[in-house]
Amino acid sequence: MFVLVPFYRILLHLITHICSQPIIPKVLSLLSGIISLLLFAMGAAGTSWIYTTNYRFGLFQECANIISGSDGTQTHFWDNCDTVIEPEWYRLLCTVFDLLAILLTLIGIFMLAVGMISLNVKRKTIMYKVVLVDFALAFIVMAVTVILFPIQMSEKIRDEPSEKVYVGWSCIVSAVGCLMLITATIFLTVDRKSEEITYRETIHRFPGPTEEEG
């Protein structure tokens, strides 16, 4: 116990010191955003948002794990998937939201990277604000997908009493992507204040032509 307390304090001090560095929070925000984008893409492509003993359900495909033969035998297949041609309203909505979240996250990452390399302090501040709004929207639409799709699919599957419904890895991966996006937003929010302070100091030290003449 006496060893853990000093270690905890040292770790907390180290994290505080790292986050106080000018560029570190932005880099962590960018990395978190990239990880979030990859997780969103993996979740969208996955076929295991919801699964049962015999079936797996994704946004675009449904897979049967067991195929019954004409002689009554059952064969296990893990890649026997069919694309959903006529999706239900909730599947269509969740698919659109998922793709929208991926697009918004990609745009946010690009704008964050451009803001990091920009030399114009005012432009950097504006772009960071836009990125925060962009990440917030991406989180909202993906959170709706992660919540709505499993609930609606579970209600559909439960019409068959023999089937037990489980949350699949695709849904979990997308949920973790939401958490990573929150992390990216927090890092950028913390560091944006330092950018605003730097901008005010720059304006104060180097006033524009109108201020100098006044």
Using one digit for the tens of pLDDT, what is the confidence trace for 42-74? Answer: 998 888 888 877 778 888 887 877 655 554 444
Q: How many CB atoms lie within 10 A of CB 112?
A: 24
Question: At 2, is the pLDDT very low, low, confident or very high (cuts 50, 70, 90)?
Answer: very low
Q: Is 41 a residue whose pLDDT tops 70?
A: yes
CA separation (Å) from 100 to 40, 106, 134?
10, 10, 11
Task: HSE, CB side, 13 Å, CA atoms: give it for residue 37.
Answer: 18
What whole-number distance in Å separates Cα of residue 101 and Cα of residue 41?
10
Report how far residue 197's alpha carbon sits from residue 200's, in angstroms, rounded to the nearest whole number.
5
Alpha carbon distances (Å) from 31 to 66, 122, 151: 40, 23, 31
**DSSP states of 172-190 as a string?**
HHHHHHHHHHHHHHHHHHH
Q: What is the pLDDT of residue 139?
A: 95
pTM exceeding the 0.75 threshold for the entire prediction: no
Q: Could you tell me the CA-to-CA distances from 197 to 35, 114, 124, 189 in Å, in that order?
A: 29, 20, 12, 13
What pLDDT sits at residue 8?
56
- Domain spans, the chain: 25-46+87-204
- Digit-coded pLDDT (tens) for 120-176: 878 888 888 999 999 999 999 999 999 998 888 887 777 666 667 888 888 899 999
* Contact assessment for residue 183 and residue 33, using Cβ atoms and an 8 Å cutoff: no
CA-to-CA distance for 26 and 178, rounded, in angstroms? 18
**What is the dotted CATH code of the domain comprising 25-46+87-204?**
1.20.140
